[in-house]
A = this chain, B = another copy of it.
Amino acid sequence: MSISTVSRVINNTAQVAPEKREAVLNAMKELNFRPNSFAQALVSKRSNCIGVLVGDLCGGPFFAQMMLGIEQVVDRVNKFSIVITGNHDEHRERHAIDTLLQRQCDALILHSMALPDEELAELVKRDTPVVFVNRLVKGAEDRSIWFDNAEGCRVAVRHLVEQGHSRIAFITSDDQSFVDAQQRFAGYRQGLQDAGLPFDESLVVKAYPDEVGGHVAVKELLDRKAEFTAFVGYNDAMAAGAISYLLENGIQVPGQVSAIGFDDIPYVRFIHPKLSTIRYPIEKMGEQAAELAVRLLDNKPVDGLRLKFEPELIERNSVKTR
């Protein structure tokens, strides 16, 4: 029997005599045969792989959740994701995208934190579909799945104001080159302005955006003798770290200081006090990004997909209500 017959049964691409079909299937089992995916990809021009660029896999649960959303749909359409980390670095991100492209990925889902909009927008002109997640890329708005960061911080501040706070600190990232950081900062200022509150530089502290950074930052705030009755954290990790430090130093949360985080990562509802936060629906966003990518590469219509995501305030116990 010829080699094409085999190909036919493997791909179900034409009618084959049931007996031969059986024979092939049996032989495949016996010999433990697996078609060489590279040969397949070479001729079919389809790798069945979707390339994913993420910031990191270990800087918290954030990306992991995004990946979960992505994998769900990639899995559903029987494709594969090959993920690579850019480590928030411009050169590495560029190199990663290059690699993904060279690997003949059928589509790309990019979470770029360091590359400029123009460069990213260029990418969509190529022939492999590209989708951006977690960022609104100018010039590629229809390919961007994004979250309104500024609005998120604004909502957080508003909530605090509603609870009677007027001295609201902002514990943020020391790397303001990321759009996220800039936007959240802008939202904080906007929130203050909305409430007719003055912006006070001495109430903002910057540190590495993780739990330790939160520790460091709030300590700095205390050292400065800044007067504040509440703070909003750049992310939950910083907020958790800050709370931990306050508690250690006998400052009650939310008794003396109210706290509100950002992201709603899973564990913050298990810390004490449970952290109020702004939900960032990252898993859903990953899902939508993947969905968009998949439709793009299948030339299917892309309407009905949500591109912009809105913040939602999650009230738990870290804010003293009045």
Give A contacts to B, CB under 8 Å.
34-39, 41-42, 47, 56-58, 60-61, 63-65, 67-68, 71, 80, 82-85, 98-99, 101-104, 211, 214, 237, 240-241, 243-244, 247, 266-267, 269-272, 274
Counting every copy of the chain, the complex holds 2
B68 touches A270 (CB 8 A): no
Known: A80-B84, A244-B271, A267-B267. 15 other contacts (CB 8 A): A34-B98, A36-B102, A36-B104, A37-B103, A37-B104, A57-B64, A57-B67, A58-B65, A71-B85, A80-B82, A80-B103, A211-B266, A240-B270, A247-B272, A272-B272
B-chain residues with CB within 8 Å of residue A103 when the two chains form the complex: 37, 80
B57 touches A58 (CB 8 A): no
Partner of A270, one of B35, B84, B241: B241
How far apart are A43's CB and chain B's nearest CB, in angstroms?
A: 9
| A60 to B267 CA separation, bound complex (whole angstroms) | 9
| A240 to B36 CA separation, bound complex (whole angstroms) | 46
How far apart are A76's CB and chain B's nearest CB, in angstroms?
A: 14
A104 touches B64 (CB 8 A): no
Q: Could you pull out 7 A-B pairs where Cβ atoms are within 8 angstroms?
A: A38-B42, A57-B68, A58-B68, A64-B64, A211-B269, A243-B270, A247-B272
Query: Taking chain A's interface residues, is the majority helix, strand, or loop, or is none over half, making it mixed?
Result: helix
